[in-house]
Amino acid sequence: MADSSPSSLIEFKQVRFAYPGSAGERVILDDVTLSVPRGKVTALMGASGGGKTTVLRLIGGQQRADSGEVLFDGKDVGSLVQAELYAARRRMGMLFQFGALFTDLSVFDNVAFPLREHTTLSEDLVRDIVLMKLNAVGLRGARDLMPSEVSGGMARRVALARAIVLDPELIMYDEPFAGLDPISLGTAAQLIRQLNDTLGITSIVVSHDLEETFLIADKVIILANGGIAAQGTPDEVRHSSDPLVHQFVNALSEGPVQFHYPGPDVAADFGKPSAAAHDAELTQ
């Protein structure tokens, strides 16, 4: 087993992963090597379908790499047995896209769920921890509300409280800003940065929101075409000379990412008009 760099909590070493399909396998990651520094906010970005969520699944062990190593604190996630994998997952927090709250549980019980599931703490201690975490995201007063009674932005903050309730070393955010109004979006971004620094954790943020993500990230990794198109500080990535990265960070419609999905030539699909039809058109 390879040793992980002390400065990196997550390392991918020559990772390859593909999804099977009826037309052959679809390669998502091809010989990818990257690192996520400890105690920092790392943004994982790129066009849709580029492998960002797949990276999170590989870290959490929901998927296993076809080859290469996915190291979490020096241990290859793909080689862990079930008990070891569950132990590793308890050191991770996850904020799912749109929150993924349990709709039949109150705000309090949603946040308490991981504590009740993974610990033997007394209910009094569970109560204190839950209220502290809710207070950290500004929602201690919403403890008795149901998910249907809170806004989208509030639901995302409840989910964040749940993600940090076990005091994880790593928090993964899958599109934390999707569907939020500007106020809620700014609040969510500020919380990610503040919690990362206050708790001394490591954060991975998958997002398409360039402005807010570049403001809070220490490191940005752009995935494209099965590999890494660019990585570095937000400023370094913003000034990358790579055509695809330039198109992405400037939201350009023209560039390596084309509007039309690759397919047969138009003439081949619709057929060329016959000579008689062409002559008829000219005489009309």
Domains and CATH numbers, the chain: 8-91+168-283 (3.40.50.300), 106-166 (no CATH)
Q: What local confidence, expressed as pLDDT, does residue 246 receive?
A: 79
**Taking 70 as the threshold, does the pLDDT of residue 283 lie above it?**
no
Contact residues for 53 (Cβ-Cβ < 8 A; gap 6+): 174, 206
Give the range among 39-48, 187-196, 245-254 with minimum mean pLDDT.
245-254
The CA-based dihedral angle spanning residues 124, 127, 132, 133, taken in that order and rounded to the nearest 10 degrees: 140
**Taking 50 as the threshold, does the pLDDT of residue 67 lie above it?**
yes
**Taking 60 as the threshold, does the pLDDT of residue 2 lie above it?**
no
**Taking 60 as the threshold, does the pLDDT of residue 250 lie above it?**
yes
**Taking 80 as the threshold, does the pLDDT of residue 88 lie above it?**
yes
Across 259-272, average pLDDT: 68
> How many residues can be counted in the chain?
284
Please return the burial class of 155, using the count of CB atoms within 10 Å of its CB with bins 0-12, 13-18 and 19+: buried
What are 13-53's pLDDT values in tens digits?
999 999 887 667 888 899 999 999 999 999 998 877 778 88
Across 237-247, average pLDDT: 82
Task: Dig out the tokens for 68 from the structure.
Answer: 């290469």
Q: What local confidence, expressed as pLDDT, does residue 254 receive?
A: 62
Give the range among 16-25, 82-91, 99-108 with minimum mean pLDDT.
16-25
**Taking 70 as the threshold, does the pLDDT of residue 275 lie above it?**
no
What are 209-221's pLDDT values in tens digits?
888 899 999 999 9
HEC assignment per residue over the chain:
CCCCCCCEEEEEEEEEEEECCCCCCEEEEEEEEEEEECCCEEEEECCCCCCHHHHHHHHHCCCCCCEEEEEECCEEHHHCCHHHHHHHHCCEEEECCCCCCCCCCCHHHHHHHHHHHHCCCCHHHHHHHHHHHHHHCCCHHHCCCCHHHCCHHHHHHHHHHHHHCCCCCEEEEECCCCCCCHHHHHHHHHHHHHHHHHHCCEEEEECCCHHHHHHHCCEEEEEECCEEEEEECHHHHHCCCCHHHHHHHCCCCCCCCCCCCCCCCHHHHHCCCCHHHHHHHHHC
Across 138-159, average pLDDT: 88
Q: Count the Cβ atoms, other than its own, within 10 Å of residue 241.
A: 7
**Taking 60 as the threshold, does the pLDDT of residue 56 lie above it?**
yes
| Selected residue with higher pLDDT from 134 and 276 | 134
β-bridge partners, 173: 95, 205
